[in-house]
Amino acid sequence: MATVSFDHVTKKYGEVTAVDDLSLDIVDGEFMVFVGPSGCGKTTSLRMIAGLEDITAGTLRIGDRIVNDVAPKDRDIAMVFQSYALYPHMTVRDNLAFGLKLRKVDKAEIDKRVQEAASILDLGKYLDRKPKELSGGQRQRVALGRAIVREPAVFLMDEPLSNLDAKLRVQTRAEILRLHQRLETTMVYVTHDQTEAMTMGTRIAVMSDGKLQQVGPPQELYDHPVNRFVGGFIGSPAMNFVDVTTAGSDGSMRLEAEGVSLPVPDRLRAAVGSGAGRTLTAGFRPEHFTVGGDGADTARFAATADVVEYLGSEELIHANVSGRDIVALLSSEFKIRPGEAIDLRVPLAKVQLFDPESSASLETLAAS
Ligand SMILES: Nc1ncnc2c1ncn2[C@@H]1O[C@H](COP(=O)(O)OP(=O)(O)O)[C@@H](O)[C@H]1O
Ligand SMILES: [Mg+2]
């Protein structure tokens, strides 16, 4: 097992900065997920750990060793790609054994590791089949098996589930987690899918534009996003953002926009300050909306239901608030119908505020 640490690591391709001054310590045995939109530098970060990309600046360590100039084969890592890259003419057994044969591991040891990997991944029945005789999910398990037999100090996975259909993705997700629990090996996993990140990560590193935005356990990112980007990226459906303006005086300061009104939450009072007329961006998660009630500690929205998507126990309401689109996830018991006026509420404890210029969370600014 091993730690992986990025110390001010930058990767440039000519003029393009793919990864910008990344500092991050991945703990021994943890499941670290890199998540962010396409092009944000996830694959480049992973390929630098693997040794498949040169590092432009900074230091990368695996364990205590600086690996900037260590060849991929000497790094004690194994990588699983989105495309399974199996050898089509070889059986599953030979696909699993191939990397070990190249490394001149002895025959008895190879057989033992192949059997073990096959048993962990439930591939025993398929050892004599060729890849084309397997389903997509089984092929992806063979690709995982090929990494497992190497017994690496660190597993690297780059969007390994994106070629699977939705049902298999959920199954394989659980299999990879089970694998991690069983092997307790450090895993670094790349995905653009925030649900995968939230369900799999011990910690999640959110990237945007080559820059690390925030790193932490899933719930910390969900409850305390450091900026608007993380707030909007983590959570599904995405957080609603509304520009609001401070109004009123110190004791009873409110945040207002057309159709939206809320008292300044106590915990953010100092960060908001006492001046009227300051613009802030307020964030409201769809799942935090309720309807009506007389609670003073709520943000209130004068909304009209526009489109209602029935999901079973819940309904996704696309509501119009003075020309703005607001998405709310409500219990189906409210039986909201299109065209209906709704008194939407969000508890103040759940409201996030961001500075519109820096996009930083006021909560984070207040704490620092
Ligand atoms: N070999 C390359 N040559 C030039 N630019 C590259 C190369 N690989 C990646 N990039 C650029 O670096 C940035 C990050 O890419 P990548 O790490 O693949 O993003 P992600 O995996 O998050 O989608 C993108 O702007 C991409 O176009
Ligand atoms: Mg990628």
Do the Cβ atoms of 312 and 366 come closer than 8 Å?
Answer: no
The ranges assigned to domains in the chain are 4-233, 240-367
Closest of 35, 66, 43, 69 to residue 55, by C-alpha: 69
Q: Position of tokens 């119009």?
A: 320
Ligand number nearest to the C-alpha of 81:
2
Burial 56-95 (b: 16+ CB within 10 A, else e): eebebbbeeeebeeeeeeebbbbbbebebebeeeebbbbb
From the CA of 18, the nearest ligand is 1
Task: Assess whether the region 4-233 and the region 240-367 belong to the same CATH fold.
Answer: no
Residue located via tokens 């089509």: 88
Q: Give the separation between CA 266 and CA 249, rounded to whole angstroms.
A: 14
What spacing in Å lies between the alpha carbon of 41 and ligand 1's midpoint?
A: 6
| Candidate from 10, 11, 13, 33 with most ligand 1 atoms within 8 A of CB, to mutate | 13
At residue 81, the pLDDT reads 84
Q: Whose CA is nearest to atom 12 of ligand 1?
A: 18
Rounded distance between C-alpha atoms, residue 323 and residue 226, angstroms:
28
Contact (CB, 8 A) for 326 and 287: no
CATH topology of domain 240-367: OB fold (Dihydrolipoamide Acetyltransferase, E2P) (2.40.50)
**pTM, to two decimals:** 0.93
Q: Residue 266, exposed/middle/buried by CB under 10 A (0-12, 13-18, 19+)?
A: exposed
**What pLDDT score does 175 carry?**
86
Q: Which atom of ligand 1 is nearest to the CA of 14?
A: 4
* Cα(33) to centroid(ligand 2), Å: 13
CATH topology of domain 4-233: Rossmann fold (3.40.50)
- Is residue 40 within 8 A of residue 209, CB to CB? The reply is yes
Instruction: Enumerate residues lining ligand 1, CB below 6 A.
Output: 13, 16, 18, 36, 38-44
- Which tokens belong to 168? 């298999």
Give me the tens of pLDDT residue by residue for the chain, a chain 368 residues long: 699 999 999 999 999 999 999 999 999 999 999 999 999 999 999 999 999 999 999 999 999 999 999 999 899 999 998 777 899 999 999 999 999 999 899 999 999 999 999 988 889 999 999 999 998 889 988 999 999 999 999 999 999 988 888 888 888 899 899 989 988 999 999 999 999 999 999 999 999 999 999 999 999 999 999 999 999 999 999 999 999 999 998 678 999 999 999 999 999 999 999 889 999 999 999 999 999 987 789 999 999 999 999 999 999 999 999 999 999 999 999 999 999 999 999 999 999 999 999 999 999 887 77
Give the C-alpha separation, 44 to 40, whole Å. 9
